[in-house]
Amino acid sequence: MNEAKKLGGILKELIKVLHLEKEVLIKNDALTLVSIVEHKNLLIGQIEAFRGMDFSENEEIREMIRAMKNLQETNQILTRQALSYQNEILKALAKSNTSKHTTYSANGQMNSQKEVSIVDQSV
């Protein structure tokens, strides 16, 4: 049962990290998110040491795993939502720009290039 206590402690820590990750995702704080993901990966690495052990009879661990799964799903939804929002903003700012410029290539030939810009300047 000592192994169950060790795993329980790691799972409790991971649940706290997942709650923190949820708050950071809601606030859209990318800098803090990096350190949270690193901490989460460290904890997952520690959980790997318990692979193959049977904790199916331990209801406390099963409940923590359910809570972890729910939090992880929520965090994934928040991440997808944030990415979708950012993609829509970029699409609105950078509509396909069709203006072309002619430049010389390295071998002296004329090249037509599409203008690269994040903001659509056409009116």
Q: Please, what is the average pLDDT of the chain?
A: 83
pLDDT of 98: 46
Q: What is the pLDDT of residue 102?
A: 63
- Name residues of the chain where pLDDT drops below 70: 1, 95-106, 108, 110-123
Prediction pTM value: 0.70
On the CB side of 35, CA atoms within 13 Å amount to 5
**Ramachandran area for residue 108 (φ above 0: left; ψ -120 to 50: alpha; else beta):** left
Query: Which tens digits make up the pLDDT trace of 20-30?
Result: 999 999 998 88
